[in-house]
Amino acid sequence: MGLPEILQWIQYGLKTGTVVFERPNVVKKVFIEQGLIVSASSNDPREYLGQILVCFGSLTEDQLTQAFQKQKISKKLLGKILSEDFGVSEKQILESLRIKIEETIYDIFLWEGGKFIYSEGLTGLSDNDRLETAIPIEQVIFEGARRVDEWREFRKIFPSDDVVFRKKSKKANLKELGKDPILLKIYNEIDGEKNIQRILLDTHAPDYRGYEAFGKLYWADQIAANAVERPTNPKIVQDLQADLVKAADLFKSKKFDESYDLLENFLVSQPENEEAQTLFKLVRDSYLKALYTVCSPDAIPKLTTDFADLNEQIYSSKEGYLASRINGEWDVKSLMMISPLGELASLRILKRLYDGGMIKFGEK
């Protein structure tokens, strides 16, 4: 079933239940009450409430880290801490919550594959995570279809996140594009050097909203792209059983990084393979433990050279983003809190920087 068909089935049946959508490394839950969407959650760090608040300027990365640390000690709700200690208004929190829930749902329309499970009842839904006004499913289907169309048009021209944009004029005329804060934030980050992915990370923008901003700026002739390179085709799995055996052998040899990459690629083409799913979870858990033995949560990473010199050694925009947040004060767990990359991806980058002699770990 496609996502619109799933949602229509829920709508017409006036269902009250929870739909879990899964693909490798991502799990999302959509909560339905009487055929209306009342909430959604995701394990994708880019869709956490804190990331949305940073994106819209309600919080800084440093404040978000402090808020998480206070939450760990006090066990209070994050929203209460943000309101009491950081001056974030209830209106800002509710607006950001709605954006978070909408982006969590609309992102599923862009998935090329995955699986879903429906169960009766609102399992695990907190009253604090419910929307004040539920979202009609017709609205979601209409907006989701619009986003898919625009996404495809943008991807026809810019198929890779490695594209670098430059401003066409020093004096921009953005009035006709409205007062979209994400668009303005994206525009201010365009410098002729950062690629799409790095700007999305620096601004903490939800993926589609970020791409939409790039598209509007490009079609309004405000920005231009440097040479666009077509991405290489992903590895095609030729022998499924051989790849699984190889991944298992690599895991037994404690070559977690190679095993993880092989299984992640395998699950792109075979997301329903239960044997691969089980092995992937086992490898991921073991890989995380191994990474934390090098990158201790309380250790403070410090650059061994100036960041300007480090840029020459950084291989990707993700690595550049995380390296730019290493300030000699934040420990590993603090970097995990503010990073939209996720726990494992961030730890992999820290380990590569450490192995390459670009950072060292110290104590508080």
Classify residue 33 by burial, with Cβ atoms within 10 Å: 0-12, 13-18, 19+: middle
pLDDT score at 231? 56
Query: What residue spans define the domains of the chain?
Result: 3-147, 158-225, 240-294, 300-362
Answer yes or no: are the C-beta atoms of 266 and 237 closer than 8 Å. yes
Residue 20, exposed/middle/buried by CB under 10 A (0-12, 13-18, 19+)? middle
- Contacts of 12-16 with C-beta under 8 Å, sequence gap 24+, read 15/118, 15/120, 16/120, 16/121, 16/122
Per-residue pLDDT tens over the stretch 72-124: 888 888 888 998 899 899 899 999 999 999 999 999 999 988 889 999 999 88
Integer Cα distance of 39 and 18 in angstroms = 10
Question: Contact at 8 Å (CB) between 125 and 31?
Answer: yes
Q: What is the pLDDT of residues 190-238, one digit of tens each?
A: 999 899 999 999 999 998 999 999 999 999 889 999 866 555 555 554 5
312-333: pLDDT as tens digits: 666 788 888 998 899 888 999 9
What distance lies between CA 37 and its chain's CA centroid? 22
Which residues, 6+ apart, have CB-to-CB distance to 35 below 8 Å? 10, 11, 12, 13, 14, 15, 137
Q: Which helix (H) or strand (E) holds 22?
A: strand 17-23
**Which residue type occupies 13?**
G
Q: Which residue carries 């700007």 as its tokens?
A: 199
Q: Which residue has the higher pLDDT, 319 or 290?
A: 290
Q: How far apart are CA 299 and CA 60, in angstroms?
A: 22
Full-model pTM: 0.84
pLDDT tens by residue, 259-270 = 999 998 888 777
- For residues 175-184, give the mean pLDDT: 81
**Per-residue tokens: 281:** 């979870």
pLDDT at 296: 94
Query: Could you say which DSSP state residue 343 is in?
Result: H
